[in-house]
Structure formats: C-alpha cells, structure tokens
C-alpha cells in the first residue's frame, strides 16, 4: 500500500465527556465492533472483577474512574482507528487537555438525563479553540431523560455548537423503541440485549410507507414523522467540509451499554472523520505527507508493567514514517536516539511494530530522556507547540515518611512529575519540595503510586498558595527584577525545568505584585 494511502486510512480521535456519561463503555463497544475484544468488562460492577479493558491502573479499577489516557488501536472495514480514551474527572483535566493536542477529531459523549455538564463545557471549549472536528453521541437512551429537541438546544446554547442530527430516537426510557438513522435512512429496533450483532435494521427510505407503522406502531410512527419534519426544518443539512473545519457537529443517539447506535456512529465516523491533519511547529506547519519523520511526546506513563518498572513515552506521529532501529533527533537534547522495540497498543496488550505512519501513536521505552512536549525528527530542528503545563490550583509540601527510602521517594517523584501527573516546585529559600496539582484527587494517586510502584511513603502538609505564575522578566539584570526577587524571596520557587515561578498567596497580593513590578510578566501556563 502506498504511503499516502496509509495516511488516508487512519483516524485518530479522542473521546471526551463529564465523568459517568459512559465514555469508557463507548470505547469498549467500539473495540467490540472492531473485533478487538470478544467481551466487554463492566466498569462499575463488583460482581465482574474484570474491569474495563482500557482502565489498567489499579487505582482506576478500585474507583471505577479513568485516571490516565489510554491508547487503543484496531482495524475496522479497512480503516485503522486509534482511540485515545481520556479521563473525564476534572482532577485529571490536564492529561485530557494534552491528549487533545494529539487527536485529529473528537467524539463528545453526553448523558441523556444530565445533559451538558461542567467538564464537557471546558473540554469542548478547548476543542473549539483548536477547531477540532466533533461528533456528539447522546448516550443512555434506554433510561428516562430529556427530550431530544431540548437536548439539542442545550448543546447549541451551552457548548456554542451548530448541530445536525444524523440519527433520531423513537421514544425514550421505557418507551424506547429504537433509532431512525437519518444518515443511512433505516430504522434500528431496540431489543435491550447488549450482545454484539443483535439489533434488527430495517431499510425504510420512504417515511410515508406503511412499513414504518407496522414496524414501530402507528402512534410512534406518526410522532417520528412529525419530529423528522421538524429536524429538517430547523437544522442545516450535513456538510462534510463544515464538519471537518469544526463549524458543524453531527449528533447521534444511542445506548453504549446496550451496544445500541454504536455501529451507526462508527460507520459514519470512518466515512466523514478527517485523516491525520497538519500541525504547527515553532518554525513552520508540518504536513503528514512529508517524507521526513516528525512526532511529539504528549504523554509519559511510568510502570505500565509493575514487574519491569518500565516507562513509556507516547509519541504521536505527525509526518513521515517512524521505523524501528533508525536513529532520530531529540531536538531538546540535540542528540540522536534509536528505538529497538517501539510499541503499538491495545489497552494492556502491547506489540512491537516495525513501521508506523502519521496519525499512529507509538510507545517508546524511556530511561528518562523525554518530557511531555519533546519533539523527535529525522534531523530538522523544530519543536511542536501547544503542549503547556497549566497553573496548578492545589499546593502541598511533600515530606518523606520513611527516611530509609529517600532515594526511592526522590526517584518516584521525579518520574511521576515527568508523566505530567502533577508539578514539582522547589522553594528558593529553603529547598523544600512543593507539589502542585490541578485537582485534589491527584495527591491520592501520587501517594498510592509512590507506595505501590516505588516502595516509598510520603505525607503532605498544606500550603496556602492561591496561584502559581511563571515569571517572565523583560530584563533579568534590571533593578526592578532584583528588587522583586529580594522582596518576594519566600514566595519564589523553581519548576522541574528550572523556570522561576511565583507562588502568590492570594489574588490580592498577585495583583499588588503585578502593579508594583510592571516590567515583569506573570503567566498561567509554562509556554509563553
């Protein structure tokens, strides 16, 4: 197969939503259709101890939430699909934001009863900012929920999207009979059985035919006809270009748990979703069809296999072919590295690959060379943009609870921070270590992983910090900056990269500092 054909047949997308909207369940059902798994694990059920295929960290199994982004790949009808299943919980939003730099399109999952929730709003705004194409999947139709039109209005207003339904529910909750697939012009009948090929699909291209009445009953058929007429009147017709430019969002209805409406979503997705897109670097825009390889690290995961203490850097390939045992330039270190066993993923299963193409995600074994945002190329010096660290919202001192294990603790913190789980700041005044996180749940994850993966114990001590800001002086040698460093010395720290950070104790003191030192800029992200 030609290089350009390999690129065209790839689809790399992320699944985003508020926690509990059914994102991980949807991922599993997509894998089920791809023939990648034979049986889905119930994430919440304690009776089935299998756990979801994509949640492989122990803490995720205990809590029934996804903590880290997992990468899953499968083939479906000649298309190579790479899914990045992201955490929905807001405490892990930073991992999700970074993952969105590696996807070409997104599926947004919305719970039919709860509608648009806070975390969905935040994540969709990031996608809108980057013009990422989005498909909306309204989930859990077998439960009582909001009216379809009410939901579509809510999506338009709260998420600022322009929607076009490509399927429409027939009833809901107890009266749920199935879905009319506007995209394929057929009716899917719901039987409430979640096994694979169970739904009955009846081709009905002419809605006025009596076949519709026979299939779903006269009153349901009449309601459906009225609703579809409304859909046609209110919403624009589907336009693939507008969707790919992020200006129009198709909507599907279904029930992931019952495996209903998922095939329709997948069939439409592989037809309309974009293949790998160009990406901007600090010197130019790089196109996927270019011969020279480039890629960037968007995630690092330590100890995927606790027995081997391994550490994997996840690299999204932007252009060219990535080949095994070929030396590539690590642009930040300016040194060549080669990889003898690059991995492709399927949840817990990894396999070594010889060649990967744009859009693919490869896992590279890392001994500490990589940090998030690093770029690999065939020789050209460039750096991909847009993978910042965000200013944390929670701060605590970290203390060693077992002096005999100081080395393990130091190593554990070092590796977990490289993963982007949280950020480490070292106070200039006394060298104490402060951990800053986006959400409070991160502290539990760090404590748990330090103990179970590194054999180190830690305790925390609260620290009153309102915001961490990266300091950007216009002239590091001027008197104003020297005065700032003297006066604020007890609030200054260095991050892991050695950048100076100001830990403001209140919004008032931050404002006062900005007013007092106008030549110094304060940034809320590390990329400025």
Summarised one tens digit per residue, pLDDT across range 94-111 is: 667 777 888 999 999 999
Q: What are the boundaries of each domain within the chain?
A: 3-173+229-272, 279-377, 394-523
Q: With beta carbons less than 8 A apart as the criterion, state whether 338 and 322 touch.
A: no
Query: Is residue 20 a known part of a binding site?
Result: yes
Is 53 marked within a binding site?
Answer: no
This model's pTM is above 0.95? no
User: What CA–CA distance (Å, rounded) separates 396 from 374?
Assistant: 28
pLDDT of residue 56: 43
DSSP for 21-84 reads: SSHHHHHHHHHHHTTS-SSPPPSS-SSSTT--TT--SHHHHHHTS--S-EEEEEEETTEEEEEE
- Helix or strand holding residue 487 (H, E): helix 479-487
Domain spanning 394-523: CATH superfamily: Peptide chain release factor 3, domain III (3.30.70.3280)
What gap in Å lies between CA 293 and CA 286, rounded to an integer? 10
Q: Is 455 annotated as a binding residue?
A: no
Query: Which CATH number is associated with domain 3-173+229-272?
Result: 3.40.50.300
Residue 333 labeled ligand binder = no
**418 a known binding residue?**
no
Query: Quick one: tokens of 54?
Result: 């994509």
Specify whether the CB–CB gap between 321 and 356 falls below 8 A. yes
87 carries a ligand binding annotation: yes
Q: Work out the end-to-end distance of the chain between its first and last CA atoms, rounded to an integer number of angstroms.
A: 42
CA contacts within 13 A on the Cβ side of 464: 4
The C-alpha atoms of residue 446 and residue 460 are separated, in whole angstroms, by 11
> Edge-to-edge strand order for the sheet containing 200-203?
167-170, 178-181, 186-189, 200-203
28 CB-side CA count, 13 A: 24
Of 167, 169, 138, the closest CA to residue 235 belongs to 167
Residues in the chain: 528
pLDDT of residue 42: 35
85, 24 contact by CB (below 8 A):
yes
Residue 437 in marked binding region:
no
Q: According to the annotation, is 399 in a ligand binding site?
A: no
19 is in an annotated binding site: yes
Residue 46 has what pLDDT? Answer: 34
Neighbours of 158 (CB within 10 A): 15
For residue 22, say whether it is annotated as part of any ligand binding site: yes
Residues of the chain with pLDDT under 70: 35-69, 87-95, 191-201, 205-206, 302-310, 346-349, 386-389, 527-528
Domain 279-377's class?
Answer: mainly beta
350 is in an annotated binding site: no
Phi, psi of 174 (to 5 degrees): -65, -30
Phi and psi based region of residue 492 (left: phi greater than 0; alpha: psi -120 to 50; beta: remaining): beta
Residue in the block written with tokens 């430019």:
245
412 marked ligand binding residue = no
Q: Is 86 annotated as a binding residue?
A: yes
Cα gap 499→513, rounded to integer Å: 19
140 is in an annotated binding site: yes
Same fold flag, 279-377 and 394-523: no
Q: What pLDDT is attached to residue 49?
A: 37
Which residues does residue 384 pair with via DSSP β-bridges, in sequence order?
A: 281
Q: Please report the beta strands in 92-132, taking only residues with DSSP state E, as ranges in sequence order.
A: 105-111
DSSP string, 261-287: SHHHHHHHHHHHS-----EEBSS-EEP
Q: Cβ atoms within 10 A of the Cβ of 192, count?
A: 10
C-alpha to C-alpha distance for 343 and 351, rounded to whole angstroms: 5
* Pick from 389, 497, 394: nearest CA to 437: 394
| pLDDT number for residue 44 | 34
Residue owning tokens 């599907």: 252
Cα angle, residue 396 at apex, residues 390 and 398 outer, rounded to 5°? 115
440 is in an annotated binding site: no
Q: What proportions of the chain, in percent to the nearest 5, are helix, strand and coil?
A: 30, 30, 40
């Amino acid at each position: 197969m030609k290089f350009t054909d390999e690129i065209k047949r790839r689809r790399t997308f992320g699944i985003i939503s508020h926690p509990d909207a059914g994102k991980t369940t949807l991922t599993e059902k997509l894998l089920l259709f791809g023939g990648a798994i034979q049986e889905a694990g119930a994430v919440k059920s304690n009776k089935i101890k299998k756990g979801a295929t994509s949640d492989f960290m122990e803490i995720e199994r205990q809590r029934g939430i996804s903590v880290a982004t997992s990468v899953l790949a499968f083939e479906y009808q000649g298309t190579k699909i790479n899914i990045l299943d992201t955490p929905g919980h807001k405490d892990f939003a930073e991992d999700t934001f970074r993952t969105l730099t590696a996807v070409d399109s997104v599926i947004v999952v919305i719970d039919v009863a709860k509608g648009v929730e806070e975390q969905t709003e935040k994540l969709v705004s990031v996608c809108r900012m980057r013009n990422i194409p989005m498909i909306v999947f309204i989930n859990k139709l077998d439960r009582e929920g909001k009216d379809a039109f009410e939901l579509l209005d809510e999506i338009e207003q709260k998420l600022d999207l322009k929607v076009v339904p490509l399927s429409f529910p027939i009833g809901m909750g107890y009266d749920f009979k199935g879905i009319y697939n506007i995209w394929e012009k057929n009716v899917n009948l719901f039987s409430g059985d979640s096994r694979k090929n169970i739904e009955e699909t009846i081709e009905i291209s002419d809605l006025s035919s009596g076949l519709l009445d026979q299939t779903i009953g006269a009153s349901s058929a009449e309601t459906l006809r009225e609703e579809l007429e409304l859909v046609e009147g209110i919403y624009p017709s589907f336009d693939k270009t507008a969707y790919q430019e992020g200006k129009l969002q198709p909507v599907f209805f279904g029930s992931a748990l019952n495996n209903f409406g998922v095939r329709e979503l997948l069939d439409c997705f592989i037809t309309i979703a974009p293949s790998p897109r160009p990406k901007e670097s600090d010197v130019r825009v790089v196109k996927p069809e270019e011969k020279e390889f480039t890629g960037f690290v968007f995630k690092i995961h330590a100890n995927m296999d606790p027995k081997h203490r391994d550490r994997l850097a996840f690299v999204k390939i932007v252009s060219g072919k990535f080949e095994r045992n070929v030396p590539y330039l690590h642009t930040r270190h300016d040194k060549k590295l080669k990889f003898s066993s690059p991995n492709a993923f399927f949840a817990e299963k990894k396999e070594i690959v010889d060649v990967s193409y744009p859009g693919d995600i490869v896992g590279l074994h890392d001994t500490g060379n990589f940090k998030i945002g690093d770029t690999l190329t065939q020789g050209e010096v460039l750096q991909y943009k847009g993978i910042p660290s965000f200013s944390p919202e929670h701060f605590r001192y970290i203390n060693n609870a077992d002096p005999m294990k100081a080395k393990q603790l130091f190593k554990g913190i070092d590796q977990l921070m490289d993963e982007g789980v949280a950020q480490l700041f070292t106070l200039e005044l006394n060298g104490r270590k402060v951990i800053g996180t986006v959400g409070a749940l991160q502290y539990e994850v760090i404590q748990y992983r330090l103990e179970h993966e590194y054999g180190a114990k830690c305790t925390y001590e609260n620290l009153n910090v309102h915001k961490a800001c990266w300091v950007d002086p216009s002239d590091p040698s001027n008197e104003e900056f020297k005065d700032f460093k003297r006066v604020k010395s007890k609030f200054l720290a260095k991050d892991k990269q050695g950048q100076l950070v100001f830990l403001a104790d209140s919004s008032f003191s931050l404002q006062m500092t900005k007013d007092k030192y106008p030549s110094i800029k304060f940034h809320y992200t590390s990329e400025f």
